[in-house]
Amino acid sequence: MTSETLDAVGATSSGTERFGHWIGGREVAPAGGVYRPTTSPVDRSVSFEIADGDGRDVDAAAAAASAARHAWAVTSTAERSELLHAVGTAVRENLDELVEAEIAETGKLIAHARAEMLSCADYFEYYAAVVRTLHGQTIDQGPGQHTYTRHEPFGVVGIIAPWNGPLNQASRGIAPALAAGNTVILKPSEFTSAATLRFARLASAAGLPHGVLNVVTGTGPAAGAALVRHDAVRKVTFTGSVPTGQVIAGIAAERIIPLTLELGGKSPLVVFADADLDRAARAAAATALMNSGQVCSATTRLIVERSAQDALLGRVSAILERKQPGVDFGPIITEPQFDKVLGFFESAAEAGATALTGGTCYHQGPAAQGRYVAPTVYKDVTPAMRIAREEIFGPVLVSLPFDDFDEAITLANDTEYGLAAAVWTGDASRGLRAAHLIEAGQVSVNGGVMTQETPFGGYKRSGYGREKGAAAIYEYTQVKTVSLDLGPF
């Protein structure tokens, strides 16, 4: 590092911690010399200053990732496994500094931020195990040929992460991409970059060779688009909105590179009248509270058998109306997202939906300083309303009644998305029938659990490709077939 870059990173005169990019195993100042502040959603104060990168910084990261590519690809799976495990251990050992950075930019409740950082460690430990099972096939064409397949890395993988689970979602891509033998350039959200930068530093200290993991920060149009366009980048994984996914898919189409797209949803939570309504109500309330509904797979469309609707919604509202901002649920992470959720409240009121609880932000007290909105349940919703069709990405549940099984499935599938679903019923066979008919990549019946080990990804406009699970490692490989002619027998 030159003395110039040393001077440019570190702390600003106001004492705010400042982060450069992480390129080639060291902190690097942005080529343009500009840093952007990130803010706390809890009180809108400045949290950090983050390098505002552009194509020149992506070029530098691509050079580092390309230089590291061959040596990393030829390591044994055992070596990569050991290093990934060491990264997971480093996360556990330095949990507090990651939690602190994540909370400073997202306002997550501490228990939630800790759980997300532990799950980040788990991604590395899980793919450290999975890579030991990576194998090709032998193909028997007769005794004269020896033919087999290899799962080879693409080379440099670009990952673009959003702001709702910053390091967690980054790890979901980084761990399998590295396990498969790729080097990575990650662009975090411009709203939430600090935990990922601290993580990259820890990963290098844990022994990850320089250039294997690079983090370039900056906005989507400047740094993100340059990453997707870069010749060195041979595969891209994106998590975020449909419009940005479409822009990225357009570039990937021109460049003929594969993509994994995770674009969120409008996922149903279907409740039959014979369900355990207390458990179903707790699950629905938890969906609103968890990260304040800023979860791509949040099951926020409550599709409830008419005879049970009042009982269920009464329970859900009773849970939610007692919850305190900053204690039981966190803020909306970004200012544009806060405005967007308030816009949905207006649209719901205009459309004639009834808020059983919530439907506003906070106008007094400490919560008014931050980007908090009240957990909300809407009744008298019709399928055509915007709140029933569009991803709100806030602690907002909408309820639609049904009269029979077929109508439940029709309503569940009446969305352009298909990321996740939940079904609650006292009849497990009916639950599985519903699971098989709902067009979504993950369906949880009666509280069935999803983890690192369960494949995750969209049907329909929720995207394509799968993350998590053993299969995800194959998304970061390309198949090569090798055949040797053994000569005449």
Residues near ligand NAI, by CB under 6 A = 160-162, 164, 187, 189-190, 219-221, 224-225, 228, 239-241, 244, 247-248, 262-264, 296, 337, 340, 391, 393
> Looking at beta carbons only, is 101 or 128 nearer to ligand NAI?
101
DSSP 291-330: GGG--TT---EEEEEHHHHHHHHHHHHHHHHT--BTTTB-
Residue 296 annotated among the catalytic residues of the structure: yes
Number of Cα atoms under 13 Å in the Cβ half of residue 418: 20
What are 69's two structure tokens? 């590519």
DSSP 403-416: SSHHHHHHHHT-SS
Contacts of 486 (CB under 8 A, 6+ apart): 143, 144, 145, 146
At closest approach, how far in Å is the CB of 396 from ligand NAI?
12
Residue 262 annotated among the catalytic residues of the structure: yes
What are 180's two structure tokens? 């498969």
Compute φ and ψ for 379, nearest 5 degrees: -115, 175
Burial 287-302, CB ≥16 within 10 A → b, else e: bbbbbbbbbbbbbbbb
At closest approach, how far in Å is the CB of 386 from ligand NAI?
13
Report how far residue 161's alpha carbon sits from residue 170's, in angstroms, rounded to the nearest whole number: 6
In the three-class reduction of DSSP (H, G, I as helix; E, B as strand; rest coil), residue 186 is classed as strand
Out of 120, 125, 296, 361, the active site residue is 296
CB 420 within 8 A of CB 270: no
At closest approach, how far in Å is the CB of 196 from ligand NAI?
11
In the three-class reduction of DSSP (H, G, I as helix; E, B as strand; rest coil), residue 49 is classed as strand
What are 476's two structure tokens? 């970061």
> Looking at beta carbons only, is 221 or 447 nearer to ligand NAI?
221
> Looking at beta carbons only, is 257 or 445 nearer to ligand NAI?
257
CB 263 within 8 A of CB 301: no
Residue 467 annotated among the catalytic residues of the structure: yes
CB 272 within 8 A of CB 425: yes
Residue 164 annotated among the catalytic residues of the structure: yes
Q: Which residue's C-beta sits nearest to ligand NAI?
A: 220
Out of 262, 305, 391, 475, the active site residue is 262
In 3D, which of 203, 242, 108, 214 has the Cα closest to residue 165?
108
Number of Cα atoms under 13 Å in the Cβ half of residue 430: 16
Report how far residue 486's alpha carbon sits from residue 489's, in angstroms, rounded to the nearest whole number: 8
Report how far residue 103's alpha carbon sits from residue 240's, in angstroms, rounded to the nearest whole number: 20
At closest approach, how far in Å is the CB of 477 from ligand NAI?
24
At closest approach, how far in Å is the CB of 393 from ligand NAI?
4
At closest approach, how far in Å is the CB of 221 from ligand NAI?
5
CA 10, chain centre distance (Å): 28
At closest approach, how far in Å is the CB of 283 from ligand NAI?
20
> Looking at beta carbons only, is 247 or 437 nearer to ligand NAI?
247
Out of 49, 116, 467, 475, the active site residue is 467
Catalogue the active-site residues: 164, 262, 296, 467
